Amino acid sequence: MDAVRVTGVALRNFRCYARAEARLAPGLTVVVGANGAGKSNLLEALYFGCTGRSSRTSSERELVRFGERVARVSVDVEAPDGGHRLEVGFEPGEAKVMRVDGAKVDSLARVDVRPLVSVFMPDRLDLVKGPPALRRAHLDRFVAALWPARGDTRQRYSRALAQRNALVARVRAGAASPSLLDTWDVELARAGIALMAVRGEALTSLSEPFSQLAAQLGLSGEARLGYRPRSRAATADELRAELRERREEDLARGFTTHGPHRDDLELAREGRPLRAYGSQGQQRAALLALLFAERELLAARGRPPLMLLDDVMSELDFPRRERLIELLRSGGQAVVAATEPEHVPGCGDPDVALLTVAEGAIAAREQVSA
Amino acid sequence: MSSLSPPVNRLITELSRLPGVGQRTAQRLAFHILRLPPEEALPLAEAIREVKEKVGQCEVCFNLAVGPRCRICEDERRDPSLICVVEEPSDILPIERTNEFNGRYHVLGGALSPIDGVDPEDIRIPELLERVAAGGVREVVVATNSTTTGEATALYIAEQMRERSPNVAVTRLASGLPVGADLEYADEITLGRALRARREL
Ligand SMILES: Nc1ncnc2c1ncn2[C@@H]1O[C@H](COP(=O)(O)OP(=O)(O)OP(=O)(O)O)[C@@H](O)[C@H]1O
Ligand SMILES: [Mg+2]
Ligand SMILES: [Zn+2]
């Protein structure tokens, strides 16, 4: 196995858990518990331990158990070169402390032995129905995970854009010469074409698996994933010319009005955007199809993500549950939360780990002895 | 902090102004200095005073210099028809270490950055254009950093040179430098390779 896999997780004063531990199956792990039992908290802890960030909140002090000072999560992983331990400690007001095998690191983003994580929870439907900025950010993160060497393409564009916007403002205020825009148009166009190229390439490879997976997950009608770039330029020079044409407008409005910072990706069913016309269930199926399509591409490059799925089973009818579980068990590692074990077909199978959470404790299913 | 005497506080404040030095490190350094015997601590103060008094800018290339010209500009063996443009004096060191470059330098003292309000006149671009226009220059190698601001600066210089000194070749260090890299952090081998394979801008 050449992928990185999570073998276990330990929580200390994280959300409702004072001290808890769990081991994950190499394939599917099912977390069951009543409402409020701590299922989402356990999934969040896995995300936090693998990435150093929360999947749910930007206000990290919420992670620390009431009345405590420091929240900690450690994740044990099995990588091609053996076992490793990732640790994240957080105390409000202090810098987060992250360690790999005991050695401090500034960020887990560039750590090879950490698994990528892909999350499904109801909030994430915003990716389908929310504003384009969310989809662009998601796509660019996927690009960075898929091709780490091109991971800074978005940053490079953002930096050039910030500089050009600053220059537009200065020219507008009469503080700088408009001819300086020539230089920044070239720089922005180069970075912009590179960004459009990686986005286009990623979406081209995602689109076929997306359509197939959407059908498999029970989204009726033809589902498509498409790139909607703002610019039609094929070369940096063409993009530069487009920027030049809009210079007067940019100067009038005070910012750069054209370029890939205004791109979108479209999830459509029967030729209509799901954002506007999709039912709740169709949007959910499309999001799952997108995440699974991403998993396929990442797996092909040896980095299948750990999938965390929260609040999805109860929303699906029985045949769709079965197909989702089938997909989850077809490869890679996943953790699924559900209020009832019956919501997860096959959760009694011996290769599936079943964790029961209640009152801040995590219990593993007792091994049935032969 | 307030429990410390004013001279100690002043030392900590001055140290914490240095790049990469936070409050805590500044305190550690200050207490280290306090523990040193005078004959070990004072040379540091003396060295700071000396560079500030004696080291200025080269009047030709704006490199660091003791006296009106830097050592490179004074060296007759160095080819005056080849000029390498860098952002900071510290960028010269790694290029010198490669032993691949026998020309002269031009230190801009920064890079174009509208966000920081840095325009061409704020760095030594007009001086560069004049220096080249005065004649005797065959090639200008632009070795600004491969960051967004460094790239834009290179583009701007190339455009200006095309207009004013069309017969002078303007080249850029070939890729090989990691994208977004500061020259200071490039190793000798990659930098040497980039110098040899420079491309027309
Ligand atoms: N910082 C914290 N300290 C202590 N308890 C917390 C903290 N943050 C959240 N909780 C509690 O954790 C409990 C479990 O929350 P969690 O979201 O994990 O439940 P769940 O099992 O996912 O439930 P549901 O099925 O409703 O989604 C909640 O009762 C919440 O009040
Ligand atoms: Mg929940
Ligand atoms: Zn000089």
CATH number for A320: 3.40.50.300
Lowest average pLDDT, out of A128-137, A359-368, B113-122, goes to A359-368
User: Tens digit of pLDDT for each residue in A104-155?
Assistant: 999 998 888 999 999 999 889 999 999 999 999 999 999 999 998 888 899 9
Q: Whose atoms come closest to the Cα of A15: which ligand?
A: 1
Instruction: For residue A252, tell me if it sits in a domain.
Output: yes
CATH number for A279: 1.20.1050.90
Residues A153, A155, A161, CA angle at the centre, nearest 5°?
105
- B12: confidence class by pLDDT, cuts 50, 70, 90: very high
Instruction: For residue A288, tell me if it sits in a domain.
Output: yes
Closest partner residue to A183 among B115, B117, B159, by Cβ?
B159
Q: Between β-strands A117-120 and A306-309, what pairing exists: parallel, antiparallel or unpaired?
A: parallel
Average pLDDT of span B144-150: 92
Domain total of chain A = 2
Question: Best mutation site among A11, A13, A15 for ligand 1, i.e. most ligand atoms within 8 A of its Cβ?
Answer: A15
B135 at interface of A, judged by CB pairs closer than 8 A = no
C-alpha A105/C-alpha A121 separation (Å) is 29
Contact B149 A166 (CB under 8 A): no
C-alpha A227/C-alpha A202 separation (Å) is 9
Cβ(A199)–Cβ(A140) below 8 Å: yes
What's the token pair of residue A304? 């299948």
Residue-by-residue DSSP string for B69-136: S-HHHH-TTSEEEEEEEESSGGGHHHHHHHT---EEEEE-SS--BGGGTB-GGGTTHHHHHHHHHTS-
Average pLDDT of span A171-183: 95
Average pLDDT, chain A: 94
- A181: confidence class by pLDDT, cuts 50, 70, 90: very high
Q: Which residues in chain A (27-66) have CB-CB distances under 8 A to chain B?
A: none
| Statement: B79-172 belongs to CATH 3.40.1360.10 | yes
Q: Are residues A294 and A328 in the same domain?
A: no
Q: Are residues A142 and A286 in the same domain?
A: yes
Instruction: For residue A212, tell me if it sits in a domain.
Output: yes
Residue type, A356: T
User: Tens digit of pLDDT for each residue in B15-45?
Assistant: 999 988 888 899 999 999 999 999 999 999 9
Kindly list the distances between the CA atom of residue A305 and the CA atoms of A145, A321, B75, in Å, as whole numbers in the listed order: 10, 21, 59
By percentage, how much of chain B surpasses pLDDT 70?
A: 93
Contact A163 B179 (CB under 8 A): no
Q: Are residues A53 and A143 in the same domain?
A: no
- pLDDT given for residue A1 in this prediction: 43
* The domain boundary residue, chosen from A302, A317, A344: A302
A149 to chain B, closest Cα gap in Å: 10
| A40 Cα: distance to centroid of ligand 2 (angstroms) | 4
Cβ(A254)–Cβ(A169) below 8 Å: yes
Lowest average pLDDT, out of A57-61, A272-276, B56-60, B134-138, goes to A57-61
Q: Is the ipTM value over 0.95, yes or no?
A: no
